[in-house]
Amino acid sequence: MPRNIIGGSPFPVRTIELDRPLTLDDISLQLRDIPGVSLCVRTAGGHTNRGGYFFHIAKDGADYRIFDISKRIVATLTPQKLVRFVNHVSGRQFDAEMLVFCQSVVNFKQDQNEHG
């Protein structure tokens, strides 16, 4: 499988390897000593070089900002919505509201950035 070289991550990379849905504690623990994290969420088992789902996250008061790979803000989410977003996108727990959010906000902003 070819690799897509996209440059460095916007924040330090930390990895969570779990097969269950993530909790707010799982995510906030990764931000305990840094202002932002490029979180790689992947399965507990598999090849050492297996892929995962990347989430670029920074604390913003009581909420969290999510960013694209170029460190552009995509959205600000409440802690509960962040957990739902990460679990939905990483395939851990389907969430109809997060599906609509991804289609109407995340993908829409991505299309705007790519096509002006």
**pLDDT, tens digit (0-9, with 9 covering 90-100), for 14-47:** 999 999 999 999 999 999 999 999 999 999 999 9
User: What are the tokens at 49?
Assistant: 């070089």
How does DSSP classify residue 69?
T
Is residue 38 helix, strand or coil? strand
* CA-based torsion, 39, 41, 45, 48: positive or negative: negative
Lowest-pLDDT choice from 5-14, 50-59, 77-86: 5-14
Quick check: helix, strand or coil at residue 110?
helix
Domain residue ranges in the chain:
13-115
Contact criterion met (CB below 8 Å) for 42 and 70: no
Q: What is the mean pLDDT of residues 67-84?
A: 96
If you ran DSSP here, which 8-state letter would residue 22 be given? P
